[in-house]
A and B are shown apart, each in its own frame.
Chain A
Amino acid sequence: MNVLARLYYRYQKLLKMLRLYLMIAGPGIIVMVADNDAGGITTYTATGAQYGFHLIWFLILLGPVAYYVQEMTVRLGAVTKRGHAEAIFHAFGSFWGWFSLLDLVLTDFLTMITEFIGMTAAMKLFGVPDWVTVLAAWLLMSWMVLQGRYWTWEKLALVFCALNLIYVPAAFLINPPIHEILRGSVIPHFPPGGFTNELFFLLMANIGTTIAPWMIFFQQSAVVDKGLQEKDMTGGRIDTAVGSVLTVVVAVFCIILTATLVPGQHIEDAATAAMKFMAINKHLGACLAIGLFDAGLLGAICISLASSWAFGEVFGWAHSLNHKLKEAPWFYAYYMFVLLVAGVVVLIPGAPLVLITLFVQVIAVTLLPAALVFLILLLNDEETMGEHKNTLFQNVANIGITAMIIIVSTLYGISALFPGLLK
């Protein structure tokens, strides 16, 4: 009887913890899954097709990297109740504030265009005209935020996050070689041919897709909008950790799909991979195309929100998803206008889309180091953070990660500008 009572007590405690976690969960999972945006899916499919299962271990290592950076935004948001843009203005003054805000707006706008490129390419495989995709996606994204409740938006976004996991069942349909996958996951090694420039470029691209400037701004603002308090920090951390696991799972299963079905082939983008899949198995191709559309949609929603929140914080507009359209007209107008313009750019015949994709990488390089350095400096300010400031271990880990990201993203940006330089 005593054992039964203890088991029941533990069950009730576990249930209560789960309920509490489900209330707090959201920003971490959404930001991490949205990180696997259209550009991310393209990078993973190219990695799998080119190098098979040999780089899975590398992507697994990127999970903790994303977690450590994003976890800082949870603490900063919960303690200061300020978004990242406002926090930079407040702590470093208007020069660095404007630099960060305008750079964020430009980077986000260009990235949104790439999300629409991904969405239209995916739906084209089902015979949907580009303008229909752009219009439908824009209406859907606008409807999601106009619910007037952060909670509703978050749950809708989580449904799209779940759809992003479509690559997992798809991979089980093709009976991938488990032994090779395990070897590629557990034993760090380079693919046959060794460490070439091409491999280096792809590794840089994978790191570049793991941490993007908008993620820092988005999660901190989402934490504030959700109203997370200092007491919710553990839940926020678990949320971020679960998100980082999911982001790695999606990346790994993308690699498994292309490494099994189109090994050794050069993949230009994820839509090309989906087309090749369709020739092999119609359903698999459809899965990849749906996943690509979903990735673009989630990315566009989060990126546009990151900019809208940032502008709202700095300009003093009402900027919460808990507001109705009438209560926060500028916030919603900015969100919808930027998405619409980004979508329309994709529809312009002869628009320099390749140049835009290239430019995203270069512009992101100018913002990412600044955002990361500001984050670490803010997290070390005892006056602001009190007992939640970075510990020695967190500083060692985060400074190491930041240094690595700055070096790699700079090299990535330079190699995008001068393609022959690293060859």
Chain B
Amino acid sequence: MIVTIFRSTMQTVRGINQKYATPHLKTTRLVRICLGLLRAYLFLLIAILLFKFIHSLH
């Protein structure tokens, strides 16, 4: 039963990924810059969280 639920969920997720595969917002330079900055910001936050985690282990 668990396997069936898992398979059906994965199928739904694949369907969602297909449905939204192409972004519909016009990719202007501003949009590219904003998304790039957002990626950098999130990587920085993840790095800080990892540092905190490793620091806590020590």
Interface residues of A (CB under 8 A from B): 89-94, 96-97, 99, 314-315, 362, 365-366, 369-370, 373, 377-378, 380-381, 383-384, 406, 410, 413-414, 417-418
Q: Which residues of B contact A373 (CB under 8 A)?
A: 34, 38
Given A92-B23, A378-B25, verify A362-B16 contact (CB < 8 Å).
no
Beta-carbon contact of B21 and A414 below 8 Å: no
Q: Mark B12-38, 1 if CB is under 8 A from A, else 0.
A: 100011011111111000110011001
User: Chain B's nearest CB lies how many Å from the CB of A405?
Assistant: 13
- B residues sitting closer than 8 Å to A (CB atoms) are 12, 16-17, 19-26, 30-31, 34-35, 38, 41-42, 45, 48-49, 52
A380 to B21, CA, bound (A): 22
Residues of B within 8 A of A381 (CB): 25-26
Q: Is the CB of B52 within 8 A of A92?
A: no
Q: Cα distance A362–B49 when bound, in Å? A: 9
For the complex, what is the distance from the CA of A406 to the CA of B41, rounded to whole Å? 10
Secondary structure dominating the interface of A: helix
Q: Closest 4 CB pairs between A and B? A: A91-B25, A93-B23, A89-B20, A94-B20
B24 CB to closest chain A CB, in angstroms? 5
Least CB distance, B48 to chain A, in whole angstroms: 7
17 further interface pairs, Cβ-Cβ under 8 Å (given A92-B35, A93-B22, A94-B20): A90-B24, A91-B24, A92-B25, A93-B20, A97-B20, A365-B45, A366-B45, A369-B41, A370-B38, A370-B42, A377-B30, A377-B34, A378-B25, A380-B30, A413-B45, A414-B48, A417-B52
A-B CB contact pairs (8 Å), 6 listed: A91-B24, A362-B49, A366-B42, A366-B45, A381-B26, A414-B48
CB distance from A265 to the nearest CB of B (A): 31
When chains A and B are docked, how far (Å) is the Cα of A341 from the Cα of B34?
36
How many Å from the CB of A7 to the closest CB on chain B? Answer: 51
**Also in contact, A315 and B35, with CB within 8 A (given A91-B23, A93-B20):** no
Contact, CB under 8 Å: A315 / B49: no
Bound-state Cα–Cα, A417 to B56, Å: 10
> Which residue of chain A lies nearest to B52 when distances are taken between CB atoms in the complex?
A417
Chain B residues lying within 8 Å of A370, measured Cβ to Cβ, are 38, 42
Are the CB atoms of A89 and B16 closer together than 8 Å? yes
Q: In the docked arrangement, what's the CA distance between A381 and B22, Å?
A: 16
B25–A377 touching, CB < 8 Å: yes
Is the pair A369, B38 in contact by a Cβ cutoff of 8 Å? yes
Tell me the nearest residue of chain B to A366, going by C-beta.
Answer: B45
| Contact A315 B16, beta carbon cutoff 8 Å | yes
- Complex Cα gap A189–B30 (Å): 38
* Interface pair B25/A94, CB less than 8 Å apart: no
Pick the most buried of A96, A377, A418: most chain B CB atoms within 10 A of its CB.
A377
* Cβ–Cβ < 8 Å partners of A366 in chain B: 42, 45
